[in-house]
Amino acid sequence: MKRIIAFFLFIAFLRLLPASPRGADAARPTPTSPVEFDAAAYFLDGAAAMFAESVQLRRQLHRMPELCFQEKETSAFVAAYLKKLGLEVSTGIAGTGIKAVLRGGRPGAVVGLRADMDALPIVEATGLPFASQRPGRMHACGHDAHMTHVLAAAKLLAAVRDRLAGTVVFIFQPCEEGAPMKETGGAERLIAAGILENPRLDALFGLHVLPDLPAGKIALRPGAIMANVSWIYVRIQGKAAHGAFPHQGIDAIFAAAQAVNQFQALISRYKDPGEKAVLTIGRINGGVRSNVIAESVEMEGTVRTFSDELENRIRLGMENILRGLETSLGVKTSLDFEKVNPAVMNDAGLHDLVLPVFRRALGKANVLTAEPLTIGEDFSLYSRRLPSLFFFLGSGVGNALHSPAFTVDEGILKVAPALLAAAAFVYLETKAGQ
Ligand SMILES: [Zn+2]
Ligand SMILES: [Zn+2]
């Protein structure tokens, strides 16, 4: 019996020692400090040990998708888990938002980890045994995985709370997918409700799964990583007449066709070709029947850029084009240019801090430089207020985000919680040492 106890004590002692190197380039000399290295290895061990639990968490969340600002049961499920970890949990922030605070054993800075909670109005077609049990609702953007990553990171960090040099705040945000038109989304409402205060956050980390990237790889970059997003609404007013007498009317459809074509010149002829931008008209509606000159046309679309300056130039260009059509064709026009999200801006200091940690954890070949994506994320609203870092996590299995067949490779649950926990841990450790 004594020998058995001694054996287990020995194993426990081994676990206290710095863990062994990992990743493809583990044998190479490292430019990082031992603290950074140990955090990555330690939390990877922890995430692997709780993998079965993480899978259960993710599957449970996947079964119960809820839409924008309706995340009631999701929120209750998440809050219950965080309370069990002994965190200070505040619920009902901006509706269904949650903030959980983990105070470390040592004084220091405050770092946040953010997950989004909402699902989409999509009929799931994965055929998975744990598919959505809510008809017409689906976690088709991986937010079930995002919540699991942050819940698991909370557990990993709570287990070392005495060693933490500061405080970690876990943010669970409602409605990332976009609020109804003219309403504010989840991040904006959480910020207005003071989510970044008490305690005041010094830095924030977040991620999004990306099916285009193999599981086990991540991608990040300093600066803009996701786009400025605006909605555009164009109205063109002409004058109805018989289709056989166009000269007696003002053809709104003809004017709209000119507008659609000329708008694309703003992308191809008007900006530096090295700068990424998209202008898409996604809906066009006008006219009544084949032999009537259309009196009016409405169009909706979106503009994506990576700088406010370019976005403003495109907006001005659209106004000029519409004014030109008023002069040349006699239509009346209006443009409503509604800013949805600014670009997600990654802080260069945070990027440089965690890059070696992530490389240690995954191997250098698995940490890629991200191409800025022309989709938007309201993480941008945090990133405009405090140093933040958002990265893409390869989730493998191929089907596009927001598609009915979307799912993630659950192997990511062994990795992502460790990356988030290590980023938070190393950030606090580095701040404490400054
Ligand atoms: Zn989405
Ligand atoms: Zn998403």
User: Domains of the chain by range and CATH?
Assistant: 30-226+343-432 (3.40.630.10), 228-341 (3.30.70.360)
Q: Is 217 in contact with 362 (CB distance < 8 Å)? A: yes
- Give the Å distance between the CA of 246 and the centre of ligand 2: 48
Please tell me the distance between residue 142's alpha carbon and the centre of ligand 2 in angstroms: 6
User: Separation of 177 CA from ligand 2 center, angstroms?
Assistant: 6
Q: How many angstroms is it from 317 CA to the middle of ligand 2? A: 31
Decide: helix, strand or coil at residue 191: helix
Compute, in angstroms, the gap from residue 128 CA to the centroid of ligand 1.
Answer: 20
Task: Kindly report, residue by residue over 73-129, the tens digit of the pLDDT.
Answer: 999 999 999 999 999 999 999 999 999 999 999 999 999 999 999 999 999 999 999
What is the signed CA dihedral for 55, 393, 144, 95, rounded to 10 degrees?
A: 140
CA of 209 to the centre of ligand 1 (A): 10
C-alpha 119 to ligand 2 mean position (Å) = 8
CA 189 to centroid of ligand 2, rounded, Å: 17
Yes or no: say if 375 and 191 are a contact pair by the CB < 8 Å rule: no
CA of 225 to the centre of ligand 1 (A): 16
What are the residues whose beta carbon lies below 5 Å from ligand 2 (ion)?
141
CA 360 / ligand 2 centre spacing (Å): 27
Residue 94 Cα to ligand 1 midpoint, Å, equals 20
pTM of the model: 0.86
Distance 341 CA to ligand 1 centre (A): 14
pLDDT at 115: 98
Instruction: Give residue 34's pLDDT.
Output: 47
Interatomic CA distance for residues 139 and 117, integer angstroms: 9
Q: How many CB atoms lie within 10 A of CB 198?
A: 12
Beta strand pairing call for 292-293 and 241-242: antiparallel
Alpha-carbon span 193 to 94, nearest angstrom: 6
- What is the C-alpha to C-alpha distance for residues 237 and 255, in angstroms, rounded to an integer? 9
Tell me, what's the pLDDT at 31?
A: 39
Q: What spacing in Å lies between the alpha carbon of 141 and ligand 1's midpoint?
A: 5
pLDDT for position 181: 65
C-alpha separations of 80 from 35, 84, 114, 147 in Å: 32, 6, 17, 13
CA angle (223, 227, 230) in 5-degree steps: 140
Residue 26: per-residue pLDDT = 39
Residues whose CB falls within 8 Å of the CB of residue 208, separated by 6 or more in sequence, listed in order: 142, 146, 377, 390, 392, 393
For residue 38, the model assigns a pLDDT of 81
Q: How far apart are CA 154 and CA 158, in angstroms?
A: 6
- Give 10-residue mean pLDDT values along the chain (434 residues): 44 40 38 60 97 98 97 98 98 98 97 98 97 97 98 98 96 90 88 98 98 96 96 97 98 98 97 96 97 98 95 98 98 95 97 96 97 95 98 91 96 98 97 90
The radius of gyration of the chain's CA atoms, rounded to the nearest angstrom, is 25
Long-range contact list for 242-250, CB < 8 A, 24+ apart?
242/291, 242/292, 242/293, 243/290, 243/291, 243/292, 243/293, 244/291, 245/293, 246/293, 248/293, 249/293, 249/295, 250/293, 250/329, 250/330, 250/331
Determine the distance separating the centroid of ligand 2 and the alpha carbon of 207, expressed in angstroms: 9
Number of the ligand closest to the Cα of 142: 2
416: which 2 tokens? Answer: 């992502």
Longest alpha-carbon distance in the chain: 103
Q: Tell me which residue of 27, 180, 187, 172 sits closest to 112, measured CA to CA.
A: 172
The CA 174 to ligand 1 mean position distance, Å, reads 12
Q: What pLDDT shows up at residue 35?
A: 52
Residue whose pair of structure tokens reads 């619920």 in the numeric block: 91
